[in-house]
Amino acid sequence: MPIKNKNKQFNKEDPNRDEQLLQVIREMRDVINATLESEEARRLNASLSQHLSRSKEPAFRQQAIRKAVERIDEYPLVREQFSKKLDAEVKWYVRPLSGDPFSMTGDLFAIDPGQLMVCPFDPQHYQRYRRNARQILRCPHHDLELISAPEMGEPGT
């Protein structure tokens, strides 16, 4: 199944885009707490708070927003809720078809994602895009090394 990372249906040049993204990221705290286990939710919310804080400095705003979206992108259920919220709250974004894997970072910042890596125990729980071939990624909840999405077998194997 191909990764959708080029959502051509929105305008990346909207002058309010950064502030709208920041607002939706701020609003994700309750969704994260309801979706993830408490320790994971705490870590993700702390990371997002750090990026939101950095975004107050104009020189770091774009990078901070991108990093926050990358963190949201790691959790498929959170990413789906973020995508729904964006679709409902802004005019420049149209949510990709449900069920298709997609990269929010790729959509929002025109970045080609690396290889999709997933938790071997539960691929829908945690996903990340590898930035280089030697990068080793782990699921923070199951403490398992992530595997390439096409290599997935039965959950827990």
pLDDT in tens, 132-141: 667 788 888 8
Nearest to 43 by CA among 142, 143, 141: 141
101 with 132, same domain?
no
Number of domains in the chain: 2
3 with 69, same domain?
yes
**What's the mean pLDDT in 29-51?**
95
Q: Residue 45: pLDDT band by 50, 70, 90 thresholds?
A: very high
93 with 128, same domain?
no
98 with 124, same domain?
no
Residues 78, 40: contact at Cβ < 8 Å? no
104 with 123, same domain?
no
21 with 82, same domain?
yes
pTM: 0.65
